[in-house]
Structure 1
């Protein structure tokens, strides 16, 4: 019996240790990145960004039937188990609104879908949801579009929108008369390029590598940092969300640091959010969470579910 990874959602397909033989069968390149642990167990060389990318290709092919997936050099290579957790906890939030059953025809807006398009790939496969992914970076947009176009069937389930205003988050992306059952977002974590570099150096030290210049684990400026960090980014999203309070059931965003919650709660109070929910997540020792807010009261949420999710 494979050891269970603590903290992951019960429906997460990555709760057991990786079956490396099965993963190498769907992505033979991965075999070149398998190393031995001090106890002689085979593992992936997580210190090598190319190894992490090969692992992602294998996981997406093996578990989510994604036959074509690639990202340009230097872009964020997301840890698939953690990204899947967000999707599963979001499914639980929608189920609570509906009365216990996960809606299979939800429409979700992914803010900053990235070159990797990871949330739409997982969410569509697991629950059949339709996604609109927004992206401000030209190269990331082109990469995400190539992933969607390269996998038959996804073009009907995932559409991408180019955010032409780098100062906007939701504005311009939610069109008149559109409705979304949820938004999700993995906001920029750091508040400066220097902080992003320091985080990268720390990660390398933890993996037993020497510090080196450059963000070797991938990530462009829009993915890793913004002025004021995640509090500033999410606060701006909260401010913009007020205008779309009748078009979106649940707005959500990851919040990487627990100490960032109080100013975000104050921002939500200021815009008149009717209900705010926090969903705790964990992957091994790493704690994370997302916050969700809605401008609809309970009766309105029930009516939304009856119209949007009726069988």
Structure 2
């Protein structure tokens, strides 16, 4: 039976709920054309295990839907799935709409902090195009930020996006949030794994899921981890997702009056109890968990604030 490739589980405002129209995508970006083939159902598609094909798809999606004309990433950096990234953005936008009679506030008065912006800089690109928001993108990787700055300059977005280097690798907000900064939201896609070995095992599972033989595609221990993209800091940290998010929560209390909502993706449901315990320990006033799904992939956003509704409104508006 031919599968139904509509993505009705995505957020209602997500531009990618319909199946990819590869004819239109190729029109938007001819670089995608060599990678488009008919699949076993007779539909146009790409080989999603081919990093170059996935990058070309992203370039086409960004051009067609978001008018991002210049976008590239260095080899072996994380190449994000745009529909899922857009979902995160739209769901946290809904948090702000609660303060504005159900309408998402737009324009540069809304400033968002992206922790781990990466070389791809996908969240600021989507957020500026969808809502006209202003972004600060932070990362510990200077090379990634250099590439992100090229994307900013290439799309004339310097008035919307500022990049900041985190010089203390063990810090998250410290050294990034400055005196006088006011953020409507922070967002983060934290490192998922706790070690290089764990990251490699995850990559091997992805290859098996795509029906590939990993040995045919790797030339070294390291490259097997990176076939799906991602530098070390993007893929893993000591203690994995749980430790990273716990540290983020602990630091967030020191910036309680400078941000309306702190948010992060949580990939592992098993990490939720410890995340909730950490939030209780820092006396978060309100915690919200937002479930997301894309196909078989399930994840969720955890959001927290230290401010009541009137304080949130005063900071946002």
TM-score by length of 2: 0.94
Partner residue in 1 for 2:261: 250
Partner residue in 1 for 2:53: 51
Partner residue in 2 for 1:9: 11
8 A contact 1:6–1:284 mirrored in 2: no
Query: Is the alpha carbon distance of 1:198 and 1:3 closer, same or farther for their aligned partners in structure 2, counting shifts above 3 Å?
Result: closer
- 2:185 is aligned with 1:176: no
What is the Cα deviation at residue 206 of structure 1? 1.2
Tell me how far apart the structure 1 counterparts of residues 195 and 279 of structure 2 sit (CA, whole Å).
25
Select 2:232's aligned residue among 212, 218, 221: 221
Partner residue in 1 for 2:94: 92
What is the Cα deviation at residue 39 of structure 1? 2.1
What is the Cα deviation at residue 22 of structure 1? 0.8
Deviations 1:206-238 (A, max 9, x none): 112111342211100110000000110010000
Deviations 1:171-212 (A, max 9, x none): 011100111010000000001001111111111111121113
Partner residue in 1 for 2:305: 294
- 2:117 is aligned with 1:113: yes
What is the Cα deviation at residue 44 of structure 1? 1.1
Tell me how far apart the structure 2 counterparts of residues 62 and 174 of structure 1 sit (CA, whole Å).
34
- 2:190 is aligned with 1:190: no
Partner residue in 2 for 1:133: 137
**1:66-81 equivalent positions in 2, closer than 5 A:** 66-81=68-83
8 A contact 2:193–2:235 mirrored in 1: yes
Tell me how far apart the structure 2 counterparts of residues 28 and 304 of structure 1 sit (CA, whole Å).
45
8 A contact 2:259–2:315 mirrored in 1: no
TM-score by length of 1: 0.95
Partner residue in 2 for 1:266: 277
Deviations 1:27-65 (A, max 9, x none): 112111112211222111111000000000000011000
8 A contact 1:109–1:182 mirrored in 2: yes
Tell me how far apart the structure 2 counterparts of residues 282 and 3 of structure 1 sit (CA, whole Å).
14
What is the Cα deviation at residue 251 of structure 1? 0.3
Select 2:213's aligned residue among 207, 210, 223: 210
Partner residue in 1 for 2:147: 143
Tell me how far apart the structure 2 counterparts of residues 53 and 107 of structure 1 sit (CA, whole Å).
28
- 2:170 is aligned with 1:167: yes
**1:235-246 equivalent positions in 2, closer than 5 A:** 235-246=246-257
Tell me how far apart the structure 2 counterparts of residues 283 and 175 of structure 1 sit (CA, whole Å).
35
Query: After TM superposition, which residue ranges in structure 1, 4 or more long, deviate above 4 angstroms?
Result: none
Report how many residues are paired. Answer: 304
Tell me how far apart the structure 2 counterparts of residues 270 and 294 of structure 1 sit (CA, whole Å).
13
Q: Tell which deviates more after alignment, 247-256 or 280-289.
A: 280-289
> Structure 2 regions of 5+ residues with no counterpart?
none
Tell me how far apart the structure 2 counterparts of residues 50 and 174 of structure 1 sit (CA, whole Å).
35
